[in-house]
Amino acid sequence: MDTLQTLLLAFIGIVIVNNLVLTKFLGICPYLGVSGRLDMAFGMGLAVTFVTTLSGTLTWLIDHTFLIGTQLEVLRYLCFILVIAGTVQLVEIYVRKFFPALYESFGIFLPLITTNCAILGLALFLNLWAIDNLPEAVVLSAGGGLGFTLAICIMAGIRENLDLADVPEVMRGAPITLITAGLLTLAFMGFAGMV
């Protein structure tokens, strides 16, 4: 199998089949918290995509350049967390300067990207999956973020339609959101074995 086909299958695999939110259950807090409006969900998805791409690539480089095969391997979590925190700070500075309205609409959610377990989980999965080349690490990092964006945008679209639906009083808000998240998870689990 040639390299391009391998990268394409890896990308499809991480976006749909091994979606970090819907099959690995990582990043659930922003998935449920920011998915009330489609525009906010899309903005958050793009921010998470940028952070996962940059931090996943940087953590893979640090891991394979400095940590693997040395006694510094015990610092893996610390290095990964520092890289993720630094990347989020760069995103926050950029968004605050160039997109002030988006920055204001995020509120507390932008700093919460730092503690988004999907980003740290992806960095750890790159090692667990034994990714041994940089292009595949970049593709999987970007795909993980785009998979997050896909999941949060689908959820936001459904939640916007649920606001117009005749949902029983008892089921409004969190109950119907959790049921919807469960149904989406089941739907995405149907892709298992595709790639």
pLDDT digit string, tens, across residues 130-172 = 888 999 999 999 999 999 999 999 999 999 999 889 999 999 9
Measured from the Cβ of residue 84, the count of other Cβ atoms closer than 10 Å reads 25
pLDDT beyond 70 at 1: no
pLDDT beyond 70 at 74: yes
Give the Cα separation of 152 and 154 in Å (integer): 6
Measured from the Cβ of residue 161, the count of other Cβ atoms closer than 10 Å reads 9
Write down the pTM of the prediction. Answer: 0.90
pLDDT at 107: 66
34-65, pLDDT tens digit by residue? 888 898 889 889 888 989 999 999 999 999 99
Helix/strand/coil percent split, the chain, to 5: 80, 0, 20
89-119, pLDDT tens digit by residue? 888 888 889 888 878 877 666 777 877 889 9
